[in-house]
Amino acid sequence: MKESNAVNKIEELRQRSKKGETITLLCYCEKGKHCHRYIIKSLIENQR
């Protein structure tokens, strides 16, 4: 998540969410805080 392309994509999702767009993250992991969808959600909500 430290690569500039990944950071840019997270920022893009954050901006879209901020404008009111619903962002849905899907995966096949069991529910839990270490699942990548929760990590991405946290990054979108907490970045800058």
Domains of the chain, by residue range, sit at 4-46
The per-residue pLDDT for 47 is 64
- Tokens 């959600």, located at residue: 41
Distance of CA 6 to the CA centre of its chain: 10
Structure tokens at 42: 């946290």
pLDDT tens by residue, 8-28? 998 999 999 999 999 888 877
- Tokens 């993250």, located at residue: 25
The per-residue pLDDT for 44 is 85
Q: At 29, is the pLDDT very low, low, confident or very high (cuts 50, 70, 90)?
A: confident
The more confidently predicted of residues 48 and 43 is: 43
